[in-house]
Structure 1
Amino acid sequence: MDPQTVYEKLGGSSDSEFPTLHSEVARTEGETPYLRHPGVILIAKPDVDIEGLRPFLEGYGEELNFDAYLDDPTPLPPGSLLLKTAGQTCYASFGPKRTYNENAQRYFDNLSSSGHGSVFEHAVFSFFVYGVSRAITHEVVRHRAGTAFSQLSQRFVSGKVLRFVERPEYQDVPTLHKRFEQRIDFLAREYDEVAEELVELQLQGDPRLVAEARTDMRKRVQQSARSVLPNEAETTMVLSANVRAWRHMIEMRTDQHAEREIRDLYFRIFLCLRLLEPMLFGDYDIESFADGTYGATTDWRKI
Structure 2
Amino acid sequence: MVLGPGDHPTVYSPVHVAPGGARYLTHPGVVTLARPNVAAPHSAIGDATIEQFLSGFDDSLGFRSSLQDPVELPPAAALCKVAGQLCYMSFGPKRTTNAEAARYFANIRGSGHGSVLEHATFTFLCYGISRSVTHELVRHRAGFAFSQVSQRYVSAQTLRFVERPEFRETPELHRDFEARIDETARRHALLEQQLAELQLQGSEALAAQGRTARRKRIQQAARALLPNETEAPVVVTANVRAWRHFIEARANEHADVEIRMLAYAIYLCLRHMEPLLFGDYDETKLPDGTTAVSTATPKV
TM-score past 0.5 threshold: yes
2:24 pairs with 1:29: no
The one of 191, 195, 199 equivalent to 1:194 is 191
Equivalent residues, number:
293
| 3-state SS of paired residue (1:197) | helix
Distance 2:142 2:279 in 1: 23
Q: Which amino acid aligns with 1:37?
A: H
Quote the offset at 1:48 in angstroms: 1.0
Match of 2:261 in 1: 264
In the alignment, the residues of structure 1 paired with residue 23 and residue 133 of structure 2 have an alpha-carbon distance, to the nearest angstrom, of 19
- SS of structure 2 residue aligned to 1:132: coil
Which one-letter code corresponds to 1:47 in the other structure? Answer: N
Q: Work out the CA distance in 1 between the residues paired with 2:28 and 2:185.
A: 21
Q: What is the SS of the residue equivalent to 1:106?
A: helix
TM-aligned CA deviation for residue 255 of structure 1: 1.1
CA distance in 2, matches of 1:255, 1:17: 27
Separation in 1, partners of 2:61, 2:132:
57
> What are the ranges of 5 or more consecutive residues in structure 2 without an aligned counterpart?
40-44
Q: Hey, what's the Cα distance between the residues in 2 that align with 1:233 and 1:94?
A: 52
* Alignment TM-score, normalising by the size of structure 1: 0.96
Identity among equivalent positions (%) equals: 53
Paired position in structure 1 for 2:72: 75
Deviation at 1:87, TM superposition (A): 0.2
Task: Report the Cα distance in structure 1 between the residues aligned to 2:277 and 2:283, rounded to whole angstroms.
Answer: 15
- Corresponding residue number in structure 1 for 2:251: 254
Residue 96 of structure 2 aligns with which residue?
Answer: 99
Paired with 2:82 and 2:152, the residues of 1 have a C-alpha distance of 44
Per-residue deviation, 1:276: 0.4
The match for 2:31 among 30, 41, 48 is 41
For the residue of structure 1 that corresponds to 2:30, the secondary structure is strand
Cα pair 2:20 2:182 within 8 Å, conserved = yes
Equivalences for residues 37-186 of structure 1 within 5 A: 37-49=27-39, 50-51=45-46, 52-186=49-183
Please tell me whether residue 12 in structure 1 is matched to residue 3 in structure 2.
yes
Return the alpha-carbon distance in structure 1 between the equivalents of residues 245 and 3 of structure 2: 23
Which amino acid is 1:132 matched to?
I
User: Which residue identity does 1:12 align to in structure 2?
Assistant: L
Deviations 1:176-214 (A, max 9, x none): 000000000000000000000000001111111111111
**Aligned position for 1:3:** none
Distance 2:62 2:3 in 1: 44
Deviation at residue 90 of structure 1 after TM alignment: 0.1
Q: Residue 13 of structure 1 aligns to a residue in which SS?
A: coil
The separation in 2 between residues aligned to 1:28 and 1:282, in whole angstroms, is 39
Aligned letter for 1:169?
Answer: E
1:67 CA displacement? 1.1
Per the TM alignment, residue 61 of structure 1 is displaced from its structure 2 partner at its CA by 2.4
- Partner of 1:108, secondary structure, is helix
Work out the CA distance in 2 between the residues paired with 1:300 and 1:178.
44
Structure 1 residue runs without a partner (length 5+): 1-9
- Normalised by the size of structure 2, how large is the TM-score? 0.97
Match of 1:242 in 2: 239
